[in-house]
């Protein structure tokens, strides 16, 4: 209460407040630990991955020459974003456990709790850091992963197949109306060359029968205006295109164009990634493929996985941090071991349920959200029962 008799607002314990020295200190510990763990994990994976394949990449080509250095470096660099999406929760867990163990070993936790600060307030920067990492994973997958995967595939195709033009074989895209577009060979192109393909076969359902289009070659012609996606706006120019109609009457006529509503370069690349490695798909691409193939059990489960996997950053912290904070100063390593063991149970349950969901044996919602909700609830209870 001040001199005028008005009561001053009181900051409630555990509620958000402006960043103080303690928040900056704990947040700095978490940030440095996260960077160290992430660099160590990424570096170890890249070392193991490329050391086993480097000899093959450096072999002389059959027609003479070697793989360009830009392809080697590009493959290395463009692998990192996708790798980050796979290991970020592990780096978050390692950073959180190291931060908590450091506070315990330095005997700083006792002093902070004695001053009236709760464990939740002490570890709030760590939880906020995990939430930021989760948001970063979502943003990277939706905004940048497609570009990175496209560059990685281009470099990898040069190294593996000793050619400078990517080729996808037997590409197939279908929609919910039963229409199917198939390309025997598809070349996605790059910034300087437009997408093209060979061996087009497309079938479409009509009110009175079926229609098929065949062409020896296709070439994408973009009609995108400034600011529009050149791989979404346009049409396919057909070489030796023929349209067959099968209904009450059978007709055959030449055709010169295939509309983008049937197939776009973006959708073609997404269909290839779904076949090769579905983890490289963005959430928007999964939804586009799901709308066209509603009977495929892969896409509903994959859509939920892309939503729930970033939340593992928070769930792992909720599980692991209380186990470390409850240990005495001399037993911090024991707390880390218990936290890692508990998180191993989480990932085991998540892997089993996710596999059942991808196989169609379990509901996509149940397969993906059950581990998050179960272990997340246990973590919240553990946090609530900590010493204050």
Between strands 209-222 and 234-239, the pairing is antiparallel
pLDDT on residue 18: 57
Q: Encode pLDDT of 345-357 as tens digits.
A: 999 999 999 999 9
Strands 251-254 and 209-222: unpaired
How deeply is 380 buried, as exposed, middle or buried, from its count of CB atoms within 10 A (0-12, 13-18, 19+)? middle
Residues 135, 137, 143, 149: what is their CA dihedral angle, to the nearest 10 degrees?
180
Average pLDDT over residues 45-69: 82
Identify the band that residue 15 occupies on the pLDDT scale cut at 50, 70 and 90: very low
Q: Which of 29-33, 265-269, 351-355 has the lowest mean pLDDT?
A: 265-269
Q: Transcribe 126-182 into DSSP letters.
A: HHHHHHHHHHHHHHHHHHTHHHHHHHHHHHHHHHHH--SS--EEEEEEE-TTS-EEE
Report residue 8's pLDDT band, with 50, 70 and 90 as the boundaries: very low
For residue 10, give the 3-state DSSP assignment: coil
> 220: Cβ–Cβ under 8 A, 6 or more apart, which residues?
189, 194, 195, 196, 231, 234, 235, 236, 237, 265
pLDDT digits (tens, 9 = 90+) for 199-254: 999 888 887 788 899 999 999 998 887 777 777 888 899 999 999 888 777 788 88
Give domain limits for the chain: 21-143+307-384, 166-272
* Nearest to 165, CA basis, from 148, 181, 146, 189: 189
Mean pLDDT for the chain? 85
Residue 37 has pLDDT above 90, yes or no: yes
Most confident of 51-60, 111-120, 146-155: 146-155
Tell me what pLDDT residue 12 has: 45
Distance CA(25)–CA(49), nearest Å, equals 36
pLDDT in tens, 291-340: 888 888 889 999 999 999 999 999 999 999 988 888 777 777 888 898 88
Percent of the chain residues past pLDDT 70, beyond the cut: 94
């Amino acid at each position: 209460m001040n001199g005028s008799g008005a009561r001053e607002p009181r900051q409630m314990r555990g509620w958000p407040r402006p960043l103080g020295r303690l928040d900056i200190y704990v947040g700095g510990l978490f940030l440095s630990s996260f960077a160290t763990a992430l660099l160590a994990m990424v570096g170890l994976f890249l070392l193991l991955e490329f050391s086993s394949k480097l000899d093959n990449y450096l072999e002389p080509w059959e027609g003479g020459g070697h793989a360009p250095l830009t392809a080697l470096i590009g493959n290395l660099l463009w692998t990192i974003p996708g790798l980050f999406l796979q290991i970020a929760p592990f780096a978050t867990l390692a950073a959180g456990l190291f931060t908590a163990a450091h506070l315990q070993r330095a005997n700083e936790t006792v002093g902070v709790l004695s001053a009236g600060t709760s464990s939740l307030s002490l570890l709030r920067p760590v939880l906020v850091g995990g939430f930021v990492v989760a948001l970063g994973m979502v943003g990277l997958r939706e905004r940048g992963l497609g570009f990175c995967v496209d560059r990685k595939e281009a470099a990898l195709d040069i190294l593996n197949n000793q050619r400078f033009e990517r080729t996808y074989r037997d590409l197939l895209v279908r929609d919910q109306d039963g229409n199917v577009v198939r390309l025997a060979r598809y070349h996605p192109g790059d910034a300087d060359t437009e997408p093209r393909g060979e061996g087009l076969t497309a079938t479409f359902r009509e009110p009175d029968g079926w229609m098929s289009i065949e062409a020896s070659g296709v070439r994408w012609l973009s009609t995108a205006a400034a600011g529009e996606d050149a791989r979404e706006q346009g049409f396919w120019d057909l070489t030796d295109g023929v349209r067959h109609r099968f209904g009450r009457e059978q007709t055959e006529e030449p055709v010169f164009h295939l509309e983008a509503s049937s197939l776009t370069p973006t959708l073609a690349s997404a269909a290839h990634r779904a076949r090769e490695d579905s983890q490289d798909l963005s959430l928007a691409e999964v939804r586009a493929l799901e709308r066209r193939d509603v009977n495929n059990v892969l896409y509903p489960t994959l859509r939920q996985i892309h939503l729930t996997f970033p939340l593992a950053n928070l769930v792992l912290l909720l599980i692991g941090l209380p186990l470390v904070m409850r240990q005495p100063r001399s037993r911090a390593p024991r707390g880390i071991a218990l936290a890692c063991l508990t998180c191993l149970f989480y990932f085991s349950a998540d892997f089993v349920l996710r596999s059942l969901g991808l196989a169609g044996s379990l509901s996509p919602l149940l397969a993906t959200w059950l581990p998050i909700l179960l272990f997340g609830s246990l973590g919240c209870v553990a946090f609530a029962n900590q010493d204050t």
